[in-house]
Every structure is written in C-alpha cells, then in structure tokens.
Amino acid sequence: MGHVTRDREKLLHRVRRIRGQLNAVEKAIEGQEACVTVLQTVVSCRGAMNSLVTVLLEDHVRYHVVDPDKNPSSKQGKAAQELIDILKTYLK
C-alpha cells in the first residue's frame, strides 16, 4: 500500500479545504470585495497548497527515496531528514 493510499482521507480533507478556499477567492472577486481581501484569501490558498506539497514530498522521500523496507543506514536517514527540513523551510 502506498503512502498516498494510506493517508487518503487526510489528504482528501486537505484538498477539500483548499477547494473551499479557492471558492472563497472566486466569491470575493465576483462580489467585488476589496483587493486586500482577495489577496489575503489567495495567500491562504497558497499556504494550504504548500502544506499539501510538503506532506506529499515528505512521504515520498520517506517511502520511495529512502525505502524503509531496506533498513536505510543512519547516514541515509539523516540525509533524508535534512532534505525534508529544507523542503519545509522553502515551502513555508
């Protein structure tokens, strides 16, 4: 079973929240809301997307780059964690 399948419900919940935020952007534009309101909503969407990408990338590294079934060395585990930390920082 892949990590996306294993975390399916949590990932779908995130996607649905993002969809709701995007709907809010559309509604704000249609309703001629203030520019700052639209911008804040778009920034929230971007943050949510970055969080989703971070979760997917972290799981990809943990389950495909460093295969846990092959008992990765501590050096490989440390390198994987360093990569994950860099990605989290970059995508904030």
Q: How far apart are the first and last CA of the chain?
A: 29
Q: From the CB of residue 58, how many other CB atoms can be counted at a distance below 10 Å?
A: 18
- Count CB-CB contacts under 10 A for residue 41: 20
Q: What local confidence, expressed as pLDDT, does residue 2 receive?
A: 63
pLDDT recorded at residue 1: 45
Q: How far apart are CA 4 and CA 33, in angstroms?
A: 37
The total of other beta-carbon atoms located within 10 Å of residue 82's CB is 10
CATH number at residue 44: 1.20.58.1000
Number of domains comprising the chain = 1
Query: pLDDT, tens digit, for every residue of 16-73?
Result: 999 999 999 999 999 999 999 999 999 999 999 999 999 999 888 888 888 766 777 7
Is 60 exceeded by the pLDDT of residue 3?
yes
| pTM attached to this predicted model | 0.79
- What pLDDT was estimated at residue 64? 80
The residue with tokens 């949590």 is 10
Q: Show the domain range for 49.
A: 3-90
